[in-house]
Amino acid sequence: MRDVRLTETGFSPADELGVFARAHDASGAIASFTGQVRPGGGVLALELTHYAPLTLPGMEKIAQEAQNRFTLAGLLALHRVGKMLPGEPIVVVAAAAAHRRDAIQAVDFMMDHLKSAAWFWKREQRNDGWHWISPRSVDHADLARWN
Amino acid sequence: MRDVRLTETGFSPADELGVFARAHDASGAIASFTGQVRPGGGVLALELTHYAPLTLPGMEKIAQEAQNRFTLAGLLALHRVGKMLPGEPIVVVAAAAAHRRDAIQAVDFMMDHLKSAAWFWKREQRNDGWHWISPRSVDHADLARWN
Amino acid sequence: MIKVVYLGQLADMAGTAESEFAATSGAIDWADLLALLENHVAPHLAEAVQADTVKLAVNGRLLADRAMLDARDGDEIALLPPVSGG
Amino acid sequence: MIKVVYLGQLADMAGTAESEFAATSGAIDWADLLALLENHVAPHLAEAVQADTVKLAVNGRLLADRAMLDARDGDEIALLPPVSGG
């Protein structure tokens, strides 16, 4: 079972994870990751732009690669796009598996690829206006671990 | 903030993760792992025995090592003991951090150590009686990754 | 008409999220696109999209080589700078 | 009295989760413990606890060397086979 979605509105990671866990109570292991807009650093808002013809198909491809690579019973990837405020969730990923390292590694793999290989452009609003964000070099290094 | 607990009664991982997430909405990254009694394989019940003078202090020590090793805003480790049924949760671990790999690696570290270095003895009830479980060799290999 | 979509910083440079061009000759190749961007959208935009890190998609399919661009009436070209992830 | 607690499979072998022994000499060392297990608890238990993988704790503190065992009245000895984790 694979559930890959984009949303333009806010969502509750706890609710999403609760639904996912109930759907996978027969799996021994469930791992998850939630990314939130970090408050502080003068950031007033965050905006994620996507390109519809590429972004969701690209996320599906990343999810399929995770399912090929690890033995999973289920995989969830939900990503918000548009403008969001500090403290609001951006992304939630969850994986269910018979064994814990499959679940944990699938989440790790998904996040590294969503961060650096998915079609999102991010900019932060500060007091002096909007600033585009580039991937950090550590993101590229994290991605290269899977090659 | 560190929250390390043993419980002799059932618990809801979704509720625990919800409370943890609300307490850490200022962290950019939250990772979690939930372990459940896997149904099937003829297992009727699972029993975890612990030794009170060692088990909780040992879990606290593992959690402290994770906090020394990774930059974390918070860490949760809740482990059930006693007799439990297929589908019931055994353990939930969550880590909050500014950066995603700290959170994910802390959860990975905690689980490897809880599996192989914490004071729990596990036995499974099958039709023909109770059987003690030994760590799998893969558990030892997983643990050795952190040395 | 052929639609051109600008993503990320390129939308800022273009001053718009997208443009539409009439393909008088029936098709637009890479050199045509650069000339249109330079003359009708914004100075320096043609230069910016020539960076190796900028990818090109036509109707949601990435082009392996920008020199292969051959957009026809009704096509959508996307100009994709490096992603910044989630 | 000195309490001895059996964990995991050792409780099955002992047929009980714990035993209590009177320390007539005032203390129990490792040889005394093995003799008590052999003669008063269960055959083969003394042999089992001599495995390198079995750890020994006194009042919740692990002993680095079982030969250092020197348990007194009121102490609790725990015999800890390899853990099987969560």
Average pLDDT across chain B, whole number:
94
Residue C86, domain member (yes or no): no
The answer to whether the CB of B116 falls within 8 A of the CB of B139 is yes
Kindly report which listed range (A24-28, A39-43, A103-107) carries the lowest average pLDDT score. A39-43
A119 close contact with C: CB closer than 8 A:
yes
- The pTM of the full predicted model, rounded to 2 decimals, is 0.92
pLDDT at B116: 85
b/e map B126-142, b = 16+ CB within 10 Å = eeeeeebbebeeebeeb
Residue A38's nearest CA partner among B28, D25, C73, D42 is B28
Task: Please list, in sequence order, all residues whose beta carbon lies within 8 angstroms of the beta carbon of residue A134, skipping any fewer than 6 positions away.
Answer: C82, C84
The ipTM value here is 0.89
C5 close contact with A: CB closer than 8 A:
yes
Residue C42, domain member (yes or no): yes
Tell whether the model's pLDDT for residue D64 goes beyond 90.
yes
C-alpha span between B47 and D11 (Å, rounded)? 14
CB contact under 8 A, D8 and B121: yes
pLDDT digits (tens, 9 = 90+) for B48-96: 999 999 999 999 999 999 999 999 999 999 999 999 999 999 999 999 9
B117 close contact with D: CB closer than 8 A:
yes
Amino acid of residue C13: M
B121 close contact with D: CB closer than 8 A:
yes
Instruction: Find chains touching chain A: ≥3 CB pairs under 8 Å.
Output: B, C
C-alpha span between B142 and A12 (Å, rounded)? 33
Residue C16, domain member (yes or no): yes
Residue C59's nearest CA partner among B28, A52, B13 is A52
Q: Which pLDDT band, with edges at 50, 70 and 90, does D68 fall under?
A: very high
Return the residue in A47, A132, A138, A139 with the most chain C beta carbons within 10 A, the one to mutate for interface testing: A132
Place of tokens 């994770």: B66
C-alpha span between A110 and C64 (Å, rounded)? 25
Question: How buried is C14 (Cβ within 10 angstroms: 0-12 exposed, 13-18 middle, 19+ buried)?
Answer: buried
Question: How buried is C73 (Cβ within 10 angstroms: 0-12 exposed, 13-18 middle, 19+ buried)?
Answer: exposed
Q: Which pLDDT band, with edges at 50, 70 and 90, does C85 fall under?
A: low
Nearest chain B Cα to A93, which residue?
B31
Kindly report which listed range (B70-79, B132-141, D77-86) carries the lowest average pLDDT score. B132-141
Tell whether the model's pLDDT for residue C86 goes beyond 60.
no
Asked if D touches B (at least 3 Cβ pairs < 8 angstroms), the answer reads: yes
Q: Measured between CA atoms, how close is A73 to chain C, in angstroms?
A: 25
The answer to whether the CB of A70 falls within 8 A of the CB of A106 is yes
Q: Which of B25, B27, B142 sits opposite A101 (nearest CB)?
A: B142
Mean pLDDT for C65-72 is: 93
Q: Which of C62, C76, C85 sits opposite A122 (nearest CB)?
A: C85
The answer to whether the CB of B96 falls within 8 A of the CB of A32 is no
Pairing of β A74-80 and β A2-7: parallel
pLDDT at A102: 97
Residues 20-79 of A with CB under 8 A from B: 21, 25-40
Mean pLDDT for D61-82 is: 94
- Residue % of chain C over a pLDDT of 70: 98
Structure tokens at D40: 């008063």
Structure tokens at B101: 């790999």
Task: Please list, in sequence order, all residues whose beta carbon lies within 8 angstroms of the beta carbon of residue B79, skipping any fewer than 6 positions away.
Answer: B5, B6, B7, B48, B59, B90, B91, B114, B118, B120, D86
pLDDT digits (tens, 9 = 90+) for B125-136: 999 999 998 877
pLDDT digits (tens, 9 = 90+) for B17-52: 999 999 998 999 999 999 999 888 889 999 999 999
Structure tokens at B124: 């499974």
Tell whether the model's pLDDT for residue C35 goes beyond 90.
yes
Q: How many CB pairs under 8 A join B and D?
A: 63
The answer to whether the CB of B32 falls within 8 A of the CB of A32 is yes
**CATH assignment at residue D49:** 3.10.20.30
Q: Residue ranges per domain, chain A?
A: 2-144
Q: Measured between CA atoms, how close is B74 to chain D, in angstroms?
A: 22
The answer to whether the CB of A116 falls within 8 A of the CB of A140 is yes
C-alpha span between C17 and C7 (Å, rounded)? 7
Tell whether the model's pLDDT for residue D81 goes beyond 60.
yes
> Looking at the 3D structure of chain C, how many domains does it have?
1
pLDDT digits (tens, 9 = 90+) for D5-62: 999 999 999 999 999 998 778 899 999 999 999 999 998 999 999 999 999 999 999 9
B39 close contact with D: CB closer than 8 A:
no
Average pLDDT across chain A, whole number:
94
CB contact under 8 A, D84 and B132: yes
pLDDT at A136: 74
- Expressed as residue numbers, the domain containing C12 is 2-80
CATH code matching the domain that covers B2-144, chosen among 3.40.640.10, 1.10.3720.10, 3.10.129.10, 3.90.1170.40: 3.90.1170.40
Q: Measured between CA atoms, how close is C32 to chain A, in angstroms?
A: 23
Gap between the terminal Cα atoms of chain A: 25
Q: Which pLDDT band, with edges at 50, 70 and 90, does D86 fall under?
A: low
Q: Measured between CA atoms, how close is B101 to chain A, in angstroms?
A: 8
Q: How many CB pairs under 8 A join A and C?
A: 64
Residue C30, domain member (yes or no): yes
